[in-house]
Structure 1
Amino acid sequence: MTILLTGANGFLGKAIGHHFAAETMIRLGRTTGEVRADLQQELPLLPVADLVIHAAGKAHAVPGTAAESAAFEHVNVGGTRRLLQALSQAARLPRYFVFISSIAVYGLEHGVLIDENHPLGATDPYGKSKIEAEQLVEKWCRDNDVVCTILRLPLLAGKNPPGNLQAMIKGIAKGYYFDIKVPPVKKSMVLIEDVAVFIEKIYQIGGTYHLTDGYHPGFSEISHLMARQLGKRKPKAIPYVLIRTMAYVGNFLGPRFPINIRKLEKMTNTLTFTDQKARTITNWQSRAVLEHFKI
């Protein structure tokens, strides 16, 4: 089988590429890969592939300007549109398409065991761009009789993670990360290697799915795990009132300040998703993040 993989050098893309190493892999990237093109502005000439896994995209950034907000549209929507156009011009269409999306499409700050039928209500630039990209992919696959799979993923765990987990690691290593004294807060997470395993199980079937480890660890559990692996003491917990005051200050100081009200709400509200659909259809079994997450 021939696989076209975008975002192959990304955090998840590397795990996907490693899992499918026995297959013929065509990597599409801006500066590396068998096909080199910037999907924001180029329409690449693509070889024939049986399966397309579209993992490229912009995330892990809080926009501070209108231009930074627009970048999500350019990369996640414009890049997807150009990829689909290029596939339409190839000598043969792929049989299967897997799109890596995000739970951000729901626009939720809290909730328990949300399923895939929940309304898509994102209003932020990232979430909105993922909604529009999903819609482009679904329509293209439907029009071209291509089996479509969409994975709405939560926080991804794996070695040297980006985004919030990387910020936690650095904060704990340098001694400036603190837990918050609040009731236990649960967050859905999944290991990147388990995502790759699920892709192999589902790409011929299609559908929209959540993936989690089934336990939904809290930030304090993750921070304590990181501290043990770094050989540090577990982070001290500070009162919620104090951190909330700092978060209000962060609203005025901008994105470089480590905390603001939006980040605080994410850290102190439970938000979990059910992946019962994925487990039922494929008998996929995930591993516990707290047992297998190595930083």
Structure 2
Amino acid sequence: MEKLLFTGGTGFLGHNVLPRLNKIYEVTKCGITLDDDIKANLAKEVPFLLVHYDVVLHACGKAHMVPKTEAEKQAFFDVNYQGTVNLCAALEKVGVPKALIFISTVAVYGCEFGNLVTEEHPLEGNTPYAKSKIMAEEYLTEWCYKHNVTLGIIRPSLIAGPNPPGNLGAMIHGIRSGRYLSIAGSRTRKSVLMVQDIARLVPLLVEKGGIYNVCDSYQPTFRELEAVICRQLDRNLPLSIPYWMAKCMALMGDCFGKKAPVNSQKLSKITESLTFSNEKAVRELGWRPISVLENFKIG
């Protein structure tokens, strides 16, 4: 059985993909938690590895927060970029793997809205999160070329699974607490990926490598996601308010900055559709994504 090193394998992603990966690989987890097999803070140190690994799944990263200080902005580069550099330095000492799979993000494109954005789109992300992921992608591209390592870069969209972080987690919390409002019928469409699909993609990328957007082939509306969540929580669909009312609330929120529950920037994100094309992954890898609306269990 091949050995796989999994960085960041104790979080949301790890809990959901390890059961499948453990059937295929001998997995070693590397990170800062008590559940990690190798204890190392990649942002600050080169981890000490004892053996050679055939495959590396590099999922350790910082996300799901808006930085308020320069230190918080720098933390994205420390974890996402410098952590990648330190990992590669450690791998060189024990022999480079045959393949390295990097979990990046569709945020690298910098799109606020769009329809079926492809991998050909320029990398224009300008947030610390996006910039740090772009830098990590560029470093790995050069490093893997130099060492003849097959590189697979996964750019996931919104990820669904039990107790998800980020925007889906906020939606679930809002509906559960009764503090969630639907806007203009929630017709906005977003690309979503079932978390289990990451595990299904790893062996495919080990063989072929490449850069791929990954998401369900069907782009659900917010209303469809709300319906899935409400059924599991035994709640009625949330009240939908007209766009003009939400816009008035957002303009008032602009006076209070980013701390406001709704402001113009937040309103734009939840009322502008943003979808990504998975056609390249389907065509080149023979991958068939899991249906989100049929399989999303909130935990």
Task: Please give the TM-score of this superposition, normalised by the length of structure 1.
Answer: 0.96
Tell me the equivalent position of 2:64.
60
Secondary structure in structure 2 of the residue aligned to 1:64: coil
For structure 1, which segment, 173-182 or 137-146, has the greater mean C-alpha deviation from structure 2 after superposition?
Answer: 173-182
After the TM superposition, which residues 103-142 of structure 1 pair with which residues of structure 2 at under 5 Å, given as runs?
103-142=106-145
Q: Is contact 2:213-2:281 (8 Å) kept? A: yes
Mapped to 2, the partners of 1:189 and 1:57 lie a distance apart of: 19
Mapped to 2, the partners of 1:195 and 1:252 lie a distance apart of: 41
Tell me the equivalent position of 1:31.
33
Q: Which amino acid aligns with 1:83?
A: L
Mapped to 2, the partners of 1:251 and 1:89 lie a distance apart of: 52
> What's the CA shift string for 1:247-291, capped at 9, x where partnerless?
334444354433332222111111111111111122211121111
Are residues 1:40 and 2:43 paired? yes
After the TM superposition, which residues 47-196 of structure 1 pair with which residues of structure 2 at under 5 Å, given as runs?
47-90=51-94, 92-181=95-184, 184-196=187-199
Pick one of 258, 270, 273 that aligns with 2:261: 258
Mapped to 2, the partners of 1:213 and 1:138 lie a distance apart of: 26
Are residues 1:242 and 2:245 paired? yes
Tell me the equivalent position of 1:4.
5
For structure 1, which segment, 181-190 or 168-177, has the greater mean C-alpha deviation from structure 2 after superposition?
Answer: 181-190
Q: Is contact 1:153-1:210 (8 Å) kept? A: yes
Q: Which amino acid aligns with 1:244?
A: K
Residue 251 to residue 142, structure 1, CA distance change in 2 (3 Å): farther
> What's the CA shift string for 1:220-243, capped at 9, x where partnerless?
211121111101110010121222
Mapped to 2, the partners of 1:234 and 1:11 lie a distance apart of: 27
For structure 1, which segment, 247-256 or 280-289, has the greater mean C-alpha deviation from structure 2 after superposition?
Answer: 247-256
Post-superposition offset of 1:42: 1.3
Residue 53 to residue 251, structure 1, CA distance change in 2 (3 Å): farther
Secondary structure in structure 2 of the residue aligned to 1:285: coil
Q: Which amino acid aligns with 1:9?
A: T
Mapped to 2, the partners of 1:111 and 1:71 lie a distance apart of: 29
Mapped to 2, the partners of 1:180 and 1:271 lie a distance apart of: 16
Q: Is contact 1:246-1:259 (8 Å) kept? A: yes
Q: Is contact 2:10-2:33 (8 Å) kept? A: no
> What's the CA shift string for 1:74-102, capped at 9, x where partnerless?
11111111111111122x21110000000
After the TM superposition, which residues 210-249 of structure 1 pair with which residues of structure 2 at under 5 Å, given as runs?
210-249=213-252
Q: Is contact 2:77-2:132 (8 Å) kept? A: yes
Q: Is contact 1:30-1:38 (8 Å) kept? A: yes
Q: Which amino acid aligns with 2:67?
A: P
Residue 112 to residue 61, structure 1, CA distance change in 2 (3 Å): same
Are residues 1:19 and 2:23 paired? no
Mapped to 2, the partners of 1:260 and 1:76 lie a distance apart of: 29
Post-superposition offset of 1:71: 1.3
Instruction: State the superposition RMSD in angstroms.
Output: 1.4
Once the two structures are aligned, what percentage of the paired residues are identical?
A: 41
For structure 1, which segment, 262-271 or 143-152, has the greater mean C-alpha deviation from structure 2 after superposition?
Answer: 262-271
Mapped to 2, the partners of 1:174 and 1:118 lie a distance apart of: 38
Secondary structure in structure 2 of the residue aligned to 1:258: coil
Q: Is contact 2:250-2:262 (8 Å) kept? A: yes
Mapped to 2, the partners of 1:252 and 1:132 lie a distance apart of: 35
Post-superposition offset of 1:201: 1.8
Q: Which amino acid aligns with 1:27?
A: K
Q: Which amino acid aligns with 2:239?
A: K
Residue 240 to residue 233, structure 1, CA distance change in 2 (3 Å): same
Gaps of 5+ in 2: none
Tell me the equivalent position of 2:292.
289
Q: Which amino acid aligns with 1:29?
A: G
